[in-house]
Amino acid sequence: MNSDESTKVDFLPQLKLLCARHGLRQSDIAEIAGVSKAAASKWFNGAPLKVESAAAIARYFRMTIDQLAGLPDTLAEARERSASMIQESAEIAKRYDTERERDLAFHASLAEKQCDEYRTRLEQSEKERNALLDTLFDVHAQISSVLKDRPKPHAKDVLKAKGVKK
């Protein structure tokens, strides 16, 4: 076995597994690695990856190049990676909670402003309604006052005004 064969690492099985697991296509892997679609296509047909491309893909999936190659971790590495992932997950959860609280506070503030606007509109509408009612009562009072001072017509005069003959 020559030195080229001993250092050759097969990323293809793990790469296919990761694509299937994460719903990615060859073009997505090309974008992650920062290479052309044609280069990624060659990898899926058995061509070797450059170290830079393998490193970019491994970083994207939060794994080592050894893991991308399907090589087993040592127990210490696995524990360290597990602790790191747990810590990162906790940080993401805190960030999510903070963002969620901020979003909830924003929406509560927005709802409060809308309620204040509606309350103001209702108060204005009620003032307008009351002013209109006051005007109507004033007009009614004026009409009543005018009618009160007038003599009441006789039935005969009303019928005559309507053009009814007896």
Topology at the third CATH level for domain 9-72:
434 Repressor (Amino-terminal Domain) (1.10.260)
DSSP calls for 30-94:
HHHHT--HHHHHHHHTTPPPPHHHHHHHHHHTT--HHHHTTPPPPHHHHHHHHHHHHHHHHHHHH
What is the reported pLDDT for 125?
82
What is the reported pLDDT for 24?
93
Sign of CA dihedral 20, 21, 23, 27: negative
What residue segments make up the domains of the chain, in order of their start? 9-72, 74-166
- Per-residue pLDDT tens, the chain, 166 aa: give them: 444 444 567 888 889 989 998 999 999 999 999 999 999 999 999 898 898 999 999 999 988 888 888 876 676 677 777 788 888 888 877 887 788 888 878 887 888 888 788 888 878 888 888 888 888 888 888 887 777 777 666 667 767 777 766 6
